[in-house]
Amino acid sequence: MAKKLAVVGIFAYLNELLSAVEGLKKEKISISAVYSPMRIEEIREALGEAPLGPGRFFTLTGAILGLLTGIFLAVYTAAQWRFIVGGKPPIPIIPSVIPGFEFFILIAVFFTLGGLLFLNRMPRRRLPIHYDKRFSQDRFGIVVYCTDDDCGQVSNILSDSGAEEVRQIEE
């Protein structure tokens, strides 16, 4: 597989990272990833991302499946038992609400976690070559995939914005 060129900029200050994002967007250069040690709203806004990801559709799917599973289990087992007591419905509605509710939550949570793992392509054994260990601690980072022609321009934008380190890698 052909190797891709990338430029990684490491920043100590958020305002400089944001100015680099603005600079790259102005030049219509696609940003591959912006790293930070925690969630930062300003980064999301600078990248123009929606507040919520597509994970919520996984949750909704799990919730509907869970609700149906719980109710089915209660109804099916009651139908199997066939213990008819005078005046009581063989398949009661109210007691089915509780397994329905609990399975609704349980399966929705499984799907939420599954969605998170799927969307982030986790678990993953190896980290990408461009990843810097400081990204999870106290530094911010920008990764831009580029060609031989525009790598120089990307490096200049990152350096001019205040990156404390800019490096070019192949991965």
Partner 1 sequence: MGMTVSHGMTEAAGPQGLTTYGSVDDQILGAMWNPGGFYWLCLAIAGLGVLVGAFSWGYQIATGLGVANITHPTMWGSYLVNFVFWVGIAHSGTLISAILFLFRASWRTTISRSSEAMTIFAVMIAGLFPLIHLGRVWLVYWILPYPNQRNLWPNFQSPLVFDVVAISTYLTVSFLFWYTGLIPDLATIRDRATGVKNRIYGFFSLGWRGSNSFWKNYGTAYLLFAALATPLVISVHSVVSWDFALGIVPGWHSTIFAPYFVAGAIHSGLAMVLVLLIPMRKIFRFENLITIEVLENIGKTIILTGLIVGYSYAVEHFMAWYGGGKAEEAQYMWRMTGYYSWCFWMMIVCNAVVPIFLFFKKIRTSLPALFSIGILVNIGMWFERLVIIVGSEAHEYDPYSWGVYPYPSIVEWGILIGSFSLFFFLFLLFAKFLPTIALTEVKEKIPVPVRAK
Q: Which residue has the tokens 């995939």?
A: 145
Residue closer to partner 1 (CB basis): 18 or 154: 18
| Closest separation in Å from C-beta 149 to partner 1 | 25
b/e 121-131 (16+ beta carbons within 10 angstroms → b): eeeeeeeeebb
Q: How far apart are CA 96 and CA 125, in angstroms?
A: 43
Asked if 95 touches partner 1 (CB under 8 A), the answer is yes
What are 87's two structure tokens?
Answer: 């005046």
Distance of CA 67 to the CA centre of its chain: 25
Asked if 134 touches partner 1 (CB under 8 A), the answer is yes
Asked if 101 touches partner 1 (CB under 8 A), the answer is yes
Q: How far apart are the first and last CA of the chain?
A: 10
CB-facing half-sphere around the CA of 82: CA atoms within 13 A: 1
Following CA atoms 149, 155, 157, 160 in sequence, which dihedral angle do they give, to the nearest 10 degrees?
-140
Asked if 49 touches partner 1 (CB under 8 A), the answer is yes
Options 112, 144, 154, 155; binder of partner 1; rule CB under 8 A: 112
Asked if 135 touches partner 1 (CB under 8 A), the answer is yes
Residue closer to partner 1 (CB basis): 39 or 149: 39
Options 86, 123, 147, 149; binder of partner 1; rule CB under 8 A: 123
Residue closer to partner 1 (CB basis): 115 or 155: 115
Residue closer to partner 1 (CB basis): 35 or 145: 35
Options 59, 67, 154, 155; binder of partner 1; rule CB under 8 A: 59
Asked if 3 touches partner 1 (CB under 8 A), the answer is no
Instruction: Give whole-number Cα distances, 5 to 130, 160, 170, in Å.
Output: 10, 20, 5
Stretch of residues binding partner 1 (CB under 8 A), selected from 1-9, 22-30, 32-40, 149-157: 32-40
Asked if 129 touches partner 1 (CB under 8 A), the answer is no
What are 88's two structure tokens?
Answer: 């009581």
